[in-house]
Amino acid sequence: MKTTLFCPAKVNLFLEVTGKRPDGYHELATLFAKINLGDTLTLEAVPASQTDISLTLTGPVAPLLSAGPDNLACRAARVFLEHFHLTARIEMTLEKHTPTGAGLGGGSSDAAGVLRALCQLFQKDLTELLPAAAKLGADVPLFLYEDTFLKGEGIGEKLTPVPAPGPLPWLVLVYPNTAVPTKGVFARLKLPPTKAVLTNSSNLDKLITYLRCGSPLASWKQLLFNRLEECVVPFTNSVRNVLLDLRKTNTDAVLMSGSGSTVFALVETEKDAKNLVSKLQNKERIVFFTTFHRSLKDENNGNTNTSYGRGSPESVCKRNL
């Protein structure tokens, strides 16, 4: 039994820290968006009397990673087998393109890809694995959903799909060849005051409404926000330089993704994306452009009239914005 899956990366269009739990984890209000940058997983599995899990890494990012049992993909395979009380021989190959320590969720997406692949091959219910996926990593459950956009709450594991039927902008991503450890970012974080959290929660709701209504980028680009920028930009020259260079191009829809270090810009057209890449490219960073990752489910939503309540979608959107 063998299958091949694409494991998309993500960016955060919005990220506010709303509190800190007694166990040390931070509560978030965020909007995830999957993109067409990612890794390719090929997985072969057969029942066996004893479990044997192997991983081969290829691709440009592979030399930076370990293929040992601590790799999140291997851990995900073990979680699947333990959850369903199975033993099997599992052989995996990951073609790695998503940078590490980049705020793009590459490892989490790979782990979710393993869970999806194994559920497909062994005909198991993927939803059963959501609690186990959250224990692997807060971002792992995100990649078990088909949807492009999801609102995240809790530590990011409480997810609500956000349909976005309208045309979407292009993304230009800049990875400054710097990995930013998430633990250090949160160690520098000072929790925002309650008033700021309430204001930003309202802004997140507005952003979601714009996306649901298919509004153009110009309507919602001012709502992009990432609280963790203040914990990274002053302390990481490479990220700060990217932000400065982007601002020099008069690009205003610019944000750091997650806990960094990738910075991305949203632009209206492919031509704009290509022009921005040419202005930003240098040997100290990796610059590329891509699109949001639309699943078949998203495409179906985009081709039908999405219901927002009573009245036409247009009228409801106008009332809510």
Residue 205 designated active-site: no
Residue 295 burial by Cβ neighbours in a 10 Å radius (0-12, 13-18, 19+): middle
Can you tell me whether residue 22 is helix, strand or coil?
A: coil
Mean pLDDT lowest among 9-13, 268-272, 313-317: 313-317
Domain covering 2-161 assigned CATH 3.40.50.300 in the classification = no
Single out the catalytic residue among 39, 110, 139, 147: 139
Q: What is the phi/psi pair of residue 124, to 5°?
A: -110, 160
Give Dmax over CA atoms of the chain in angstroms. Answer: 61
Q: Kindly report the CATH number that applies to the domain delimited by 170-290.
A: 3.30.70.890
3-state secondary structure of 250: coil
Residue extents of the structural domains in the chain: 2-161, 170-290
Q: What is the pLDDT of residues 56-105, one digit of tens each?
A: 999 999 999 999 999 999 999 999 999 999 999 999 999 999 999 999 99
pLDDT tens digits, 139-175 = 999 999 999 999 999 988 899 999 999 899 999 999 9
Place of tokens 């925002």: 192
Joined together, the tokens standing for residue 9 give 């990366």
Active site residue 10: yes
For the segment 180-233, what is each residue's pLDDT rounded down to a tens digit?
998 999 999 999 999 999 999 999 999 999 999 999 999 999 999 999 999 999
CA separation for the pair 211, 314 (Å, rounded)? 12
Is this model's pTM higher than 0.95 or not? no
Q: Distance from CA of residue 47 to its chain's centroid?
A: 32
CA gap 245, 127 in Å, rounded: 43
